Structure 1
Amino acid sequence: MRKRTKSKSPLDYAFRVLAHKDYTEKEMREKLLSRFSREEADECMEKLHGYGYIDDLKFAENFTASRLNSGYGPYYILPRLKQKGVFVDEGFIENTAHAKDIDIEGIMRDTGKKYLEKKSGEDRIKVRQKTWAFLMRRGFEGRMIDKLIEELFDESNFHSGC
């Protein structure tokens, strides 16, 4: 069993937890307040901002790129950022994707194709519905999904045996 180290200062604690993963301002403040007074937490947050260790926009960019590259769309990412205390809009997601050379439509297409590979042999109509629902849960826009479904289920492009 791992021995738990008790941090003597809020800054030591913050550095220790930041060594494992990035946090938003909201998340870090909550962590600090669970162990230290409000004054200590506020002072620590001010130092972390000054050192550049807490930057919600940089966090949002990295989180967005990571989730997009994992096959998730903007409508999956936005509420998760909001839960973490970062309020951005769909334009932010698109700008981040563009800046990091991420093709959202290409990712949706690849995610849809991988899903369809698992569904070969099933009823074609049900597979269409399930694919649409799957991509919607993944946070892609309905109109983009409709367009992709038509493309994937076009007789000349769809060869999975449905």
Structure 2
Amino acid sequence: MAERKVVKQKFLEDGRIELSLENKEKFIVDPFQYKSHQLETGAEIPDELYQEFFGEKLLSQCRKKASDLLFRRLHSRGELKKKLRDKQEFSMRLIEQVLEEMESYGYLDDRRFAELYCKELAKKGFGPRVVSLKMRQRGLESNLVREIIQEFTLSEQEPLNELLRLAQKKLKSLHRENDKFKKRQKLYRYLAGRGWGSSEISKVIDKLL
């Protein structure tokens, strides 16, 4: 128990108190906790109170980790959950609590993330198959992925415009290829590799070649 003895206090500007323990751990308590538990220098923290402080500390750390990740970029719930799980000290109960908090604040929204990520991938010229794969790799549920891709496809007045633009760009790099058959093959393989279906590819290639 000696290692849980308070060896140093630091009164913070916001009124809270930082306690340094003999085992090098630090906890921040509010004035009520400080006075009610008599946590002056030399006081030993009981096991029950220590576990309470330790749980609050981990919760604070988990919140900070989640906030830092979301500040850098948007995440799906599954993706954020996986990254928090990589931090071994966070229990699943703690992670779920933080995820629910982030959702309630509006910082975590799978539908909004899916819509934005789908549009981002489409602008890069990826077809439905690759878009679907990449979205699921980001931790999005398969049902939501299918729904978002369908909505995005239906919202486009000319669904093949992006594929046509991509094919035209690729053709410029194939200008030295004089064999039309080989040019079609190379263009087909390239577009298929970007996740477009054979039917869409054939329509575009027939239009260009």
Output the TM-score relative to the length of structure 1: 0.82
Q: Which runs of 5+ in 1 are unaligned?
A: 1-6, 154-162
The one-letter amino acid of 2:99's match is M
Please say if residues 24 and 85 of structure 1, whose CA atoms lie closer than 8 Å, have aligned partners that are also in contact: yes
Matched position secondary structure for 2:112: helix
2:73 is equivalent to residue 21 of structure 1:
yes
RMSD: 1.9
Aligned with 1:147 (options 203, 206, 209): 203
Aligned residue pairs, count: 146
Say if 1:90 and 1:128 are closer, same or farther in 2 by CA, change over 3 A.
Answer: farther
Q: State the shift of 1:97 in Å.
A: 4.6
- Which of the pair is proportionally richer in strand? 2
Please say if residues 75 and 140 of structure 1, whose CA atoms lie closer than 8 Å, have aligned partners that are also in contact: yes
Task: Output one character per residue of 1:78-130: Cα deviation in whole Å (capped at 9) or x when no partner.
Answer: 1111222211354531312555x574310000000000000002122111001
2:145 is equivalent to residue 57 of structure 1:
no
Please say if residues 188 and 201 of structure 2, whose CA atoms lie closer than 8 Å, have aligned partners that are also in contact: yes
Aligned-residue sequence identity (percent) comes to 25
Please say if residues 49 and 55 of structure 1, whose CA atoms lie closer than 8 Å, have aligned partners that are also in contact: yes
Structure 1 CA distance, aligned partners of 2:124 and 2:114? 15
Please say if residues 114 and 145 of structure 2, whose CA atoms lie closer than 8 Å, have aligned partners that are also in contact: no
Task: Output one character per residue of 1:32-78: Cα deviation in whole Å (capped at 9) or x when no partner.
Answer: 12222222211101101111111111111111000111111111101
Output the TM-score relative to the length of structure 2: 0.64
